């Protein structure tokens, strides 16, 4: 067995939430993975298939207490936990050579002031944060492959940054404004994006047959999107971003619509061709043909992200859809793991979207 074919021992901290069970589902289908440890504060001793019968016969490991010392026996540990948990364990794990992929926000924002403001906590391991990689493969693959710690992006920022990547790159290439300084991101998510805990505003009678905005005065994913546009994508212009998320009455799925006003120079660009060229080698990003619009069901339960483009005079509309629990969370985390271990990015992730 070659070095790349050796089985990878995985630990999952926080395996009872929606992203946790998605990690278990996807990793159970990965040919080179062994889930060695699965933790939960509330379900210790119970087999995962008791809590999630869909995994019966697929994964029957029992939940255990989170024990950092035992986690050091793993090759990689996924944290599907609330914000602030991964950074507590990171110093010990990284000192023992364990790789970390955090699905919360501990290693997303490099601006510590912004992190404290939006997550109401101070960061415990700044040095590890500075050495971590932001886990958006289609943009940051070169850093992810050598990283020991990866901060998995938020679901909304994934759609926003990938939706803007081709535009910012073309604008930087031409060194002239192609779009107006204002970027409007109108985003919608299924209810699973709010997590699995019981909350009054998320029960069926409150969310069914209803459509609502939230975080209008400010949302913690906004600084992450701004970091992506100005830092990760390296925009040479000072774009002002207006981001408004909405909750829609569906279980899973995300649809982000990005509205841009084109300058005279921007109106001369064939944006369809720009997007197709930028993502032609990206397996998980599908730029749809002209006049074909994406729908959330086109990506359900898969790691694919689909982009539709509509150009009308001085208005450019970018529509981005993904499954918020897969490409927006667990699937992207597995994609990052594959890169970190030098594997084919698609391993365990070639899941065809579910229809209907």
DSSP one-letter string for 38-49: EE-SS-TT-BHH
Q: Do the Cβ atoms of 300 and 356 come closer than 8 Å?
A: no
Q: Cα dihedral angle (119, 125, 130, 132), rounded to 10 degrees?
A: -80
Q: Which residues pair with 259 in a beta bridge?
A: 184, 317
212 is written with which tokens?
A: 């609502």
Sheet holding 315-322, edge to edge: 212-213, 240-247, 179-189, 254-262, 315-322, 305-312, 285-287
End-to-end CA, the chain: 41
Question: Look-up: residue for tokens 């970091």?
Answer: 227
* 324, 296 contact by CB (below 8 A): no
Q: Which residues contact 289 (CB under 8 A, 6 or more apart)?
A: none
Catalytic annotation, residues? 155
- 302-306: Cβ within 8 A, 24+ apart: 302/326, 302/327, 302/331, 302/351, 302/352, 302/353, 302/354, 303/327, 303/331, 303/332, 303/334, 303/335, 303/349, 303/351, 304/353, 305/158, 305/159, 305/162
Sort 84 into a burial class: Cβ within 10 Å, 0-12 / 13-18 / 19+: middle
Collapse the DSSP code of 163 into the 3-class scheme (helix H, G, I; strand E, B; otherwise coil) and give the result: helix
Q: What is the dihedral of CA 14, 20, 21, 27, to 10 degrees?
A: -110
């Amino acid at each position: 067995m070659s070095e790349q074919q050796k089985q990878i021992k995985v630990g999952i901290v926080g395996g009872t939430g929606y992203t946790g069970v998605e990690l278990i589902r996807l990793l159970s289908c990965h040919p080179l993975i062994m889930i060695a440890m699965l933790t939960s504060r509330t379900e210790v001793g119970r087999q995962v298939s008791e809590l999630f019968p869909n995994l019966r016969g697929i994964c029957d490991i029992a939940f255990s207490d989170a024990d950092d010392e035992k986690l050091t026996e793993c090759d990689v540990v996924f944290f599907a936990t609330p914000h602030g948990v991964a950074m507590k364990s990171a110093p010990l794990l990284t000192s023992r050579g364990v790789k970390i992929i955090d699905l919360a926000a501990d290693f997303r924002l490099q601006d510590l002031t912004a992190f404290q403001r939006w997550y109401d906590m101070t960061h415990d391991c700044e040095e590890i944060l500075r050495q971590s990689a932001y886990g958006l493969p289609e943009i940051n693959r070169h850093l992810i492959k050598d990283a020991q710690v990866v901060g998995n992006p938020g679901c909304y920022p994934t759609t926003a940054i990938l939706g803007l990547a081709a535009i910012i790159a073309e604008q930087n290439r031409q060194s002239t404004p192609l779009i107006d300084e204002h970027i409007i991101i109108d985003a919608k998510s299924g209810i699973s994006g709010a997590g699995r805990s019981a909350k009054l505003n998320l029960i069926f009678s409150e969310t069914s047959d209803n459509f609502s905005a939230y975080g209008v005065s400010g949302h913690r994913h906004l600084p992450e999107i701004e970091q992506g546009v100005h830092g990760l994508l390296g925009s040479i212009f000072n774009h002002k971003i207006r981001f408004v998320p909405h909750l829609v009455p569906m279980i899973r799925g995300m649809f982000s619509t990005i509205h841009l006003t084109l300058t005279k120079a921007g109106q001369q660009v064939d944006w369809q061709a720009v997007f197709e060229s930028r993502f032609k080698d990206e397996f998980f990003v599908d730029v749809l043909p002209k006049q074909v619009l994406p729908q959330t069901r086109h990506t359900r339960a898969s790691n694919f992200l689909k982009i539709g483009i509509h150009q009308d005079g001085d208005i450019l509309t970018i529509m981005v859809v993904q499954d918020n629990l897969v490409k927006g969370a667990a699937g992207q985390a597995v994609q990052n793991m594959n890169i970190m271990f030098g594997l084919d990015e698609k391993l365990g992730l070639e899941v065809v979207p579910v229809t209907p």
